[in-house]
Structure 1
Amino acid sequence: MLIHPQFDPVAIAIGPLAIRWYGLMYLLAFMLLLVLGRLRIKQHPDAGWNIKQLDDVLFYGVLGVVLGGRLGYVLFYKFSYYLAHPIEIFYVWQGGMSFHGGFLGVAFALWLFARREGKPWLAIADFIAPLVPLGLGAGRIGNFINGELWGRPTDLPWGMVFPNVDLVPRHPSQLYEFGLEGLALFALVWLYSARPRPVGAVSGLFLIGYGTFRFLVEFSREPDDFLGLLAMGLSMGQWLSVPMIITGIGIMFWAYRKQAGKIN
């Protein structure tokens, strides 16, 4: 049995100014996107990207993550609460972000960027998708440091006690998500995108990969106490992942069928 280290969520404190680990993980995620983006530009000069476009798309993406992530949490997880307390929607320091909302926010931001650049939206998404998973992994490390989003009880040898919750050994589901949604998804999408693919195929694989990994990990993650399990014994995270998987399959099917049509 392991015990969660109970990290101090504040990484650096200077007088009244406190810099939290979770905020640093967001910063790390954006830095990773820039570093990997520059590498991808060098590896694929025919993609038509430059450093300024990478910096610009990061700005769009940050807005999409923050606004979409917060609104997604409000709409998907605690809509009735925020309907009664609308001013608290802006209390972002209290926590409450949704990956699926952030994903929709980024998708919309990339659509705006694509319109500005005069490029196909899916071509933009194909370039960005391989840059995202390591940033997602950094976010899960932030969850682990904060001791939040813990797992369900388990009797496995690596079960971890989260003293801020109870004394029951639980799945360290944040680390499962780091391994699957972060490292494994990065390897999958990065290697797949190393060779020329039909427009949309890389984005489709990202959706399938993330949706599948998230769906599986949710079986080990404790459901939100204010929601519990929903229809068919599935969590909200699982129900939100299903459309991602279906959409990803549809996009990949469309991409390869369109390529085959051009070849024929």
Structure 2
Amino acid sequence: MQFPHIDPVFFRLGRLEFRWYGLMYILGFIAAYFIVRRAAGRRGLALTQDDVADVIFSLAIGVILGGRLGYILFYNLSYYLSHPLKLFAVWEGGMSFHGGLLGVILAGAYVARQKKIGFPLLADICAPAAPVGLGLGRLGNFINGELYGRVTDVPWGIIFPGGGGAPRHPSQLYEAVLEGPVLFLILMAVGRRERPAGVVFWTFISFYGLFRFLVEFFREPDAQLGLLAGPFSMGQLLSFPMFLLGLVMAVLVSRRRVGP
């Protein structure tokens, strides 16, 4: 199958270009607002519309700053040390989920303290919003024709621009499904019953780590890194500890009494 050659720019206004990838971020944050607002009401948190907007704004800053710094540190530090002005060229790509997660945790801890909410409880009501943004972001990766998979002979293999003439796994779509609707439904199922604060968050950490670890076997490793430890990529080395930590913490936290 040939890549459908979707224009990454969906709207132009003079020199201004509005890209699908950026739109996915915006849609993700809008969806997060409504998900967090609904979840806060279900958990009995007296958060106003402005409070929820403050939470989403803080987390958005954490995602962007953490994602950029994480990519620089984990994936391409030598390049950015040689080209320091490129640190700010976010329009050229270069975001890391793991860095974004650390940024979100720090931002969440800050806003939880400001709003006088327990961090585990805030993390629980925000966690279901993450798969929406992740799924949309992976669709943006597919539209951009980036982060494609390894060469394959499966019938649904796609020939990506810049990926050579061989068909490759559409690994962006694998991730979009697993990190998006599948992970969202898992968190909804876990959160349906009243559980100790933190269980939903750690469930998210564990299943994201598992899904990312598995999909990385089909995804082309970053060219500047390749495989780092036998058959494992940087994404797997960062994700497998997430799976284990999330699993252990979800079990431990679930044994506590129900409450924040």
1:46 and 2:47 are equivalent in the alignment: no
When structure 1 is superposed on structure 2, of 88-97 and 175-184 the one drifting more is 88-97
Which of 195, 219, 222 lines up with 2:220 in the alignment?
222
What letter matches 1:35 in structure 2?
F
- Contact 1:130–1:193 (8 Å) recurs in 2: no
The answer to whether the 8 Å contact 2:40/2:125 transfers is no
Q: 1:45 to 1:231 in 2, by over 3 A?
A: closer
Query: Does structure 2 retain, via aligned residues, the 8 Å contact 1:137–1:177?
Result: yes
1:175-214 equivalence runs, <5 A:
175-214=173-212
CA drift of 1:123 comes to 1.1
* 1:21 matched to 2:12: no
* Partner SS, residue 258 of structure 1: coil
Distance 2:215 2:257 in 1: 34
Distance apart, 1:45 and its partner CA: 4.9
Q: Distance in 2 between matches of 1:256 and 1:190?
A: 16
Question: Which position in structure 2 is the counterpart of 1:155?
Answer: 153
CA distance in 1, matches of 2:124, 2:20: 30
Q: What is the CA-CA distance between 1:86 and the residue it aligns to?
A: 2.0
Secondary structure in structure 2 of the residue aligned to 1:169: coil
Residue 235 of structure 2: aligned partner: 237
Deviation at 1:149, TM superposition (A): 0.3
Within 5 A, what are the aligned runs for 1:105-144?
105-144=103-142
Task: Say whether the 8 Å CA contact 1:218–1:237 is kept in structure 2.
Answer: yes
SS of 1:231's partner is: coil
Structure 1 distance, partners of 2:107, 2:151, is 39
Q: Report SS of the residue matched to 1:18.
A: strand
Distance 2:165 2:34 in 1: 41
Aligned to 2:251: 253
Q: CA deviation at 1:237?
A: 0.5
Aligned to 2:67: 69
Alignment of 1:103 onto 2:83: no
**Corresponding letter in the other structure for 2:98:** H
Q: What is the one-letter code of the residue matched to 2:172?
A: Q
Give the whole-Å Cα distance in 1 for the aligned partners of 2:44 and 2:38: 13
C-alpha distance in structure 2 between counterparts of 1:208 and 1:50, whole Å: 31
5+ residue gaps in structure 2?
Answer: none
TM-score (norm 1): 0.94
Find the aligned partners of 1:239 and 1:36 in 2 and give their Cα distance: 31
Offset from partner CA, 1:179-206 (integer Å, 9 cap, x none): 0001100110022112211111111100
What's the secondary structure of 1:12's corresponding residue? strand
Q: Which amino acid aligns with 1:204?
A: W
Q: Distance in 1 between matches of 2:113 and 2:241?
A: 25
> Contact (CA 8 Å) 2:131, 2:184: kept in 1 or not?
yes
Q: Following the alignment from structure 2 to structure 1, what is the Cα–Cα distance between the partners of residues 255 and 44? A: 23
SS at the partner of 1:164? Answer: coil
Corresponding residue pairs, total: 259
- The 1-side partners of 2:151 and 2:162 are apart by 14
Give the fraction of aligned pairs with identical amino acids, expressed as a percent: 50
- Per-residue CA deviations over 1:28-82 (Å, capped at 9, x if unaligned) read 111111222233344x052443322211110101100110000000000011221
Contact 2:10/2:19 (<8 A) preserved:
yes
Which of 64, 76, 79 is 2:77 aligned to?
79
RMSD: 1.5
Q: Cα deviation per residue 1:189-244 (whole Å; 9 max; x = unaligned)?
A: 02211221111111110001100000000000000111000113200111110221
In the alignment, which residue of structure 1 is the partner of 2:30? 31
Local SS of the residue matching 1:83: helix
- Aligned twin of 2:86: 88
Is the contact between residue 154 and residue 169 of structure 1 (CA under 8 Å) also seen in structure 2?
yes
Instruction: Judge conservation of contact 1:41–1:50 (CA < 8 Å) in 2.
Output: no
Displacement over 3 Å in runs of 4+:
47-50
CA distance in 2, matches of 1:127, 1:232: 38
TM-superposed deviation, 1:166: 1.5
Cα deviation, residue 4, structure 1? 1.0
